[in-house]
Structure 1
Amino acid sequence: MKALLVIDVQNGIVNLGNFEEELSLMENIIKDFKEAKMPVIFIRHLDDEEESGLYKNSIGSELHNSLKDYAEYVIEKQTPSSFYNTELQGTLEKLGVDHVFITGFNTEFCCLFTAIAAFDRGYTVTFIENATGTVNTEETYEMPGLDIKDFVGTVLHWSNALEVLDYEEYVEEYKPKNII
């Protein structure tokens, strides 16, 4: 069975940028999974530091209004990996999931770490590159011209360890075959 992971779509991240396109793509994918009666699992990052935009029990840590009504499962984490010290693997096992689709924030941290951790645990992984977003920029990393989503997607694709698609490829690959 397949499951969709929607990582860190929280006020403390989404409110830092214009992510309308990414949120729209995530919502389309969520609707596909809901229609196919496949699990949609939201991940929430919670920090212990009060200065953090994702401080536990703060408005910033709450799921963003645009997608929160779709959350049937919510897993809380405190590291970039959605698997480390969480209930995610147990939930996936209980649901009979063997293939996870990755969407959410931040592309180069939590989405990347979760994709690698899922692969390491034996899951088939599909990373939907343009259905991820990041608050960081080329200036953050002092790398002029860096397209973070494309870079992460390229590295993962070249690894030959997991599938990397953009939304249009996802639609072409999965929707017509009613696999989702």
Structure 2
Amino acid sequence: MKALLVIDVQNGIVNLGDFKTELALMESVIKDFKTGSLPVIFVRHFDDSEESPLYKGSVGSELHGSLKNYADYVIEKQTPSSFFKTNLADTLEHLGVTHLFIIGFETEFCCMFTAISAFDRGYKVTLIKNATGTGNTDESYGMPGLDIRRFVGTVLQWSSVIEVLDYEKYAENYFAENMM
């Protein structure tokens, strides 16, 4: 069975930039899963520091209003991996999931770490790279010209074990098959 992980679509991240395009693509993917009666699992990141925009209990830590009502399940985490010290693995096992699709925020951290962790646990993994976003830029890393999504997508593709697609290829490869 397939399931969708929607990672860190929270006010504290979404409010960092203009993510209209990414949110629209995320919503399209979510609607595909809903149409196919497939589980949509949201993951929320919390920090203990009151200075963090994702401080637990703050408005920033809440799921973004544009997508939050689509969640079938909500998993809470405190590290980049959605699996580390969470009940995600138990939830996926209970649902009989074998193939995870990943969208959401912090492409280079939470999405990538979760994709690798999922593969390590035996899941088939598909990352829809243009349905991810990040609050970081090339300036954040002191690497002028760095395209974070492209870099992460390339690294994961080179692994030859994690499928990386843009939305159009995802729609062609999966949506055309009615997701099943």
Task: Say yes or no: TM over 0.5.
Answer: yes
Q: Does 1:46 align with 2:34?
A: no
Q: Equivalents in 1 of 2:57, 2:177: separation in Å?
A: 42
Superposed CA RMSD in Å reads: 0.6
1:179 and 1:11 map into 2 onto residues whose CA distance is: 29
In the TM superposition, residue 175 of structure 1 has moved relative to its aligned partner by: 1.2
2:85 counterpart residue number? 85
Give the match's secondary structure for 2:41. strand
Residues 1:125 and 2:158 aligned together: no
- For 1:179 and 1:108, the matched residues in 2 are separated by 26
1:108-147 matched pairs, under 5 angstroms: 108-147=108-147
Q: What SS is found at the alignment partner of 1:176?
A: helix
Instruction: Give the structure 1 partner of residue 60 of structure 2.
Output: 60
Question: How big is the shift at 1:179?
Answer: 2.6
Supply the distance in 1 between the matched residues of 2:179 and 2:45 (Cα, whole angstroms). Answer: 30
> Displaced runs of 4+ in structure 1, greater than 2 A?
none
Question: Hey, what's the Cα distance between the residues in 2 that align with 1:95 and 1:27?
Answer: 22
Q: Distance in 2 between matches of 1:10 and 1:176?
A: 30
Cα distance per residue 1:55-109 (max 9 Å; x no partner): 0011000000110111110000000000000000000000000000000010000
Instruction: Please tell me whether residue 25 in structure 1 is matched to residue 30 in structure 2.
Output: no
The answer for the alignment partner of 2:13 in structure 1 is 13
Give the TM-score normalised by structure 2.
Answer: 0.99
TM-score, normalization by structure 1 = 0.99
* Counterpart Cα distance in 2 of 1:25 and 1:95: 25
1:69 matched residue in structure 2: 69
Aligned length: 180
Confirm whether residue 150 of structure 1 aligns to residue 147 of structure 2. no
Give me the whole-angstrom Cα distance separating, in 2, the residues matched to 1:179 and 1:47. 35
1:46 aligned partner, one-letter code: F
What percent identity do the matched residue pairs reach? 71
Asked if the contact 2:6–2:104 (Cα under 8 Å) also holds between the matched residues in 1, the reply is yes
Q: Map 1:160-171 to 2 at 5 A.
A: 160-171=160-171
Contact 2:32–2:179 (Cα < 8 Å) also in 1: no
Letter paired with 2:30: I
Give 5+ residue unaligned stretches, structure 1.
none
Cα distance in structure 1, aligned partners of 2:89 and 2:128: 20
Amino acid at match of 1:84: F
What residue number does 2:176 align with?
Answer: 176
SS at match of 2:28: helix
